[in-house]
Structure 1
Amino acid sequence: MLLFFILGYLSLNLLVGWWASSKISSTEDFVLAGRGLSFGLSSMVTFATWFGSETMMGAPAEFIENGILGVIEEPFGAALCLILVGLFYAKIFYNLNILTFCDYFKLRYGVAAEYVSAFLMVPSYFGWIAAQLIAMGTVLEVVVGWPLYMGILISALLVMVYTLMGGMWSVSVTDFFHNILLIIGLIILTAIMLDKTGGFQPVIASTPQDFFRVVPKRFTLLESASYLTAWITVGLGSIPQQDIFQRVMASKDAKTAVRSSVTAGFLYLSVAMLPLFIALMAKYLHPELLQQDARMIIPNMVMEHTNTFVQILFFGALISAVLSTTSGAILAPASVIGENIIKPLYPKLTDRQLLFVIRCAIVVVTLASIWMATSRQNIFELVGESSAFSLVSLFVPLTVGLYWKKANTIGCIASMILGFGSWFICNFVWKTEFPASLIGLIVSWIAIYVGSYIPIKSLRS
């Protein structure tokens, strides 16, 4: 019955994609759902941005091992990101009437900055998508017994097909229903677990001292830097991400974009706490599950210690979360490839041809993500690296460009390249004890201010 339900649920997503394809008549329809989403639909779509594999599997594993301090990045940083987007960015970008974040870099800094931002933004998604595919493959491995690589491949092809058909309309409609199932499933599972544990009190009493600390015990330079990095990696690093931009900009007006983003942030923070406490209760009831993969503590607990009804609820919720995140994440870099890399090379492209290019890019992005998913298996690390990528290269020129008129093209490009380069060296070449993301961010800030006093007008062609 569980397998039948999962297959039926996946088939339903394809039907939604087929239905959504009838609403696509332009690139804007495909990328931004025609800018027609209501407050409720827009809030649900934006909420689904982050509720994926790291929320359901990666963060719970970190939480039961390291407590609150282990999950500052996710879900707290992720919720902070959505709230900041609503408060400081949504209205400005909505009124610009642009298709991608990289369009902003073209308007503000010129064509050269558009290209550099696009080439930096696209690869940042591969790790993020790979993390979602690993989660889906793991679910199918647990439920059906398929090898992980087969589950990854099937999941990727499914999401690719329904995203190809309906674009952001597919993402929006499926997200709405996914989230309803997700929230209901998690609430019911939490209630069942609370009944078995006798409430939160005995579970909380069993945790180590300082498990629920929100700030470090000591504020040495290194610990303070690590703590700050945990907040800003996703909290600031994911602000200049195309998937968030598309979800927020798909709103029917600027006011709805602002309200839906802030609402999604608070909704995310509340709902994302449920998997953390479900994992903690699972550890309390079945400590033997820790002898297996920690990220699988909730799926294994559900499979081994609950009835079929609860299994359907949980795996329906998990699949909902991962599908919602993956579809938007695949569409985002594909949109940038079409709009900001291919279109400038062929300015005579018709809107229909551009739409075809974006659909082809969806296939390319999916294949690249499949390769990364089969090469690396740590969901939490993949997600963190994806956000750090944009934090050190795109966040500073984006934000400074909005609020400092003197920022210029050379400052922007220097900020992107030097910020990314210093992070890459400190993270992969000469691994530093001081957080590489913070080093890259500092370099990026310095570079834009120094570079902006060097006028090179020829780059703004």
Structure 2
Amino acid sequence: MALNVPGLIVMAGFYLVILCTGIWASMRSKKEEKKCTGDGMEITLLAGRNINQLVGIFTLTATWVGGGFILGIAEATYNPTLGAVWALMPVPYVLTFFLGGFFFAKPMRENKYVTMMDPFQHKYGNVLSSALIFPALVADVLWVARTLVSLGGTMSVILDLSYIYSIIVSSVIAIIYTLLGGLYSVAYTDVLQLILIFVSLWVCVPFLLTNPHSLDISLTAYNQTFQAPWVGTVELDQAGKWFDDFMLLALGGLAYQAFYQRILSASSYTQAQVTCFASSAFCLVLGIPSVLVGAVAASTDWNSTRYGLPTPYDRGQAGSILPIALQFLTPTYVSIVGIGAVAAAVMSSMDSALLSSASLFSSNIYKNIIRKQASDREMQWVIRISVVVVGLAGTALTFLDSSVLVFWLVGVDMSYTIMFPQLVCVLFFKMSNGYGATVGLLTGIILRVMSGEPLIGLPPAIKFPGCRLDAEGKMTQFFPFRTAIMFISMASILIFSWLTYIIFNKGLLPERWDVFNTKRGIQPAVVPARGERRPRTGRIEDEAAAKQLLSTTSC
């Protein structure tokens, strides 16, 4: 294949528009900083908690509709061993947003937290919360790497361009506009990117459905005479694994900082709710084109195309089925439009991961632990440096593709099996304390490691019911073991929190041994004013005073 020059020109124009939009948004961010007499860090990280409703909906949707979303749904639908019923992402994401809007938005928004980790820091103190921040930071770095890898693979198919070059360019563009304007730049570029995703994918669908090499997808949905039906099935002995994957996607997303960055940027709890509910509908609509691409690919006689035999699945290229289908089943100009959708999806997720990790480090580690008296100007530079470091780290990891997959899997599992139960307990159970959180953290990590992981060749030391060899001969847990670990971790937090509260408040152990100070009583996590020195436990006694102090720092 020759280098696709027209495609390169179109992509260069796309990146230029995105960069200009980000720069324009950064100028707006600077204007808001001049108007505001409070905390400039909130302008950068949360757009002054006054982001436009429609912009908020677009940026939350774009964060979840990334390269993995578009490519993953098409891959699962095309894969003859899976099918569309295993393309889970759109429906679980609806549950994510509804649960987030109904239950999590209110305590996070009304306490005026800056990051997801604030309630941990305020209730458990700095030491334990630092241990919990680490997996969240790692997950964001790996999120950056995986999105860049998906873009590189797509460009290499359609443009015949080495994915290394596309990765570097995309990374540089995203880093520049994110560090210039913070959430303002991320949000307004997300608006443009989401529009491009929607238009580009739906432009490609008619050409795919009417190409001469594929059968009518309505005929191949359940018919096994041509190929495996693209709708797919969930056998009874696979139901546990299907349910586990569903819950991982639905609840794991509630433990990501990127989600709360959008919630906390809303001007009110009601606006945050509307943002969540509207975004769920957008996710469903944006998942349909990828399902159709996978269905068309599964209904295609590849021997009649320029691709030839063996099929993409037999060549181990099922993960690239979307760009392959665009390249060989649509005109060239249409495939170029399609790659614009993938590029937009990737960048909309990458910039979110960059700002998410920068928020955690700058607010929860640097400002609250390293330099509590850091000036506003100093914090702006810390945020920018954090964005650059995370971007470079994620880009560097793209050269270790297989290893990135391993760590990305660990990050997703950690957010569900460890971070989600911790977040539920710290927000909704006043009895939770540092002792229970520590036991829950260790329990979740140990059980997850001992459960094994076939993708990295780690055999299970604990075999749940239904554990057996899969189609590839790897020992796999078909029981919803990650969901079981999540509940066990949550139960550990609550039980040990209750036990230690009883032990110290009944005088069974000396008060001087109570490092988490449970004798002060079970109290909710309350956010202190920025820059105020916290007591040893990180709690503030007077909640009303804390909120009054904090209100003076917002615009």
Unaligned stretches of 5+ residues in structure 1: none
The CA deviation at 1:206 is: 4.3
Contact in 1 for aligned 2:101/2:277 (Cα 8 Å):
yes
For residue 537 of structure 2, what is the amino acid of its counterpart? R
Aligned equivalent of 1:372: 397
Which range is displaced more, 192-201 or 366-375? 192-201
Contact in 1 for aligned 2:193/2:345 (Cα 8 Å):
yes
For residue 218 of structure 2, what is the amino acid of its counterpart? Q
Counterpart Cα distance in 2 of 1:261 and 1:377:
34
Aligned equivalent of 1:135: 150
Given candidates 21, 46, 60, the residue that maps to 1:46 is 60
The CA deviation at 1:179 is: 0.9
Contact in 2 for aligned 1:54/1:379 (Cα 8 Å):
no
Aligned equivalent of 2:43: 29
For residue 204 of structure 1, what is the amino acid of its counterpart? A
Given candidates 17, 32, 37, the residue that maps to 1:12 is 17
Aligned equivalent of 2:324: 300
Matched, 1:353 2:398: no
Aligned equivalent of 2:218: 201
Matched, 1:312 2:340: no
Matched, 1:217 2:235: yes
For residue 221 of structure 2, what is the amino acid of its counterpart? I
Q: Structure with the greater relative contact order (CA < 8 A, sep ≥ 6): 1 or 2?
A: 1
Aligned equivalent of 2:497: 452
Matched, 1:443 2:488: yes
Q: CA RMSD in A?
A: 2.5
Aligned equivalent of 1:71: 87
Aligned equivalent of 1:416: 441
Q: How many pairs were matched up?
A: 456
Contact in 2 for aligned 1:234/1:388 (Cα 8 Å):
no
Contact in 1 for aligned 2:200/2:337 (Cα 8 Å):
yes
* SS of equivalent residue, structure 2 residue 63: coil
Counterpart Cα distance in 2 of 1:280 and 1:68:
8
The CA deviation at 1:338 is: 0.9
Identity %: 22
Counterpart Cα distance in 2 of 1:310 and 1:346:
52
For residue 201 of structure 1, what is the amino acid of its counterpart? S
Distance 1:271-1:416 versus aligned 2 partners, 3 A rule: same
Aligned equivalent of 2:432: 407
The CA deviation at 1:211 is: 5.2
Distance 1:252-1:286 versus aligned 2 partners, 3 A rule: farther
- CA-to-partner distance for each residue in 1:379-428, whole Å, 9 max, x for gaps? 98765543212112211121122222211221123222331333234346
Contact in 1 for aligned 2:71/2:319 (Cα 8 Å):
yes
Contact in 1 for aligned 2:222/2:231 (Cα 8 Å):
no
Counterpart Cα distance in 2 of 1:308 and 1:224:
41
For residue 122 of structure 1, what is the amino acid of its counterpart? L
For residue 212 of structure 1, what is the amino acid of its counterpart? V
Distance 1:424-1:204 versus aligned 2 partners, 3 A rule: same
Matches of residues 11-410 of structure 1 in structure 2 within 5 Å? 11-22=16-27, 23-24=29-30, 25=33, 26-65=40-79, 66-72=82-88, 74-196=89-211, 200-206=217-223, 212=231, 216-218=234-236, 223-287=238-302, 288=308, 289-290=311-312, 291-292=314-315, 293-343=317-367, 344-377=369-402, 384-410=409-435
- CA-to-partner distance for each residue in 1:263-285, whole Å, 9 max, x for gaps? 11122022212212112113323
Which range is displaced more, 330-339 or 227-236? 227-236
Unaligned stretches of 5+ residues in structure 2: 1-5, 34-39, 303-307, 463-475, 502-513, 518-535, 539-555
For residue 235 of structure 2, what is the amino acid of its counterpart? K
Structure whose CA Rg is larger: 2
Contact in 2 for aligned 1:414/1:451 (Cα 8 Å):
yes
Which stretches of structure 1, 4 residues or longer, exceed 6 Å deviation after superposition?
378-382
Counterpart Cα distance in 2 of 1:64 and 1:130:
24
Distance 1:123-1:382 versus aligned 2 partners, 3 A rule: closer
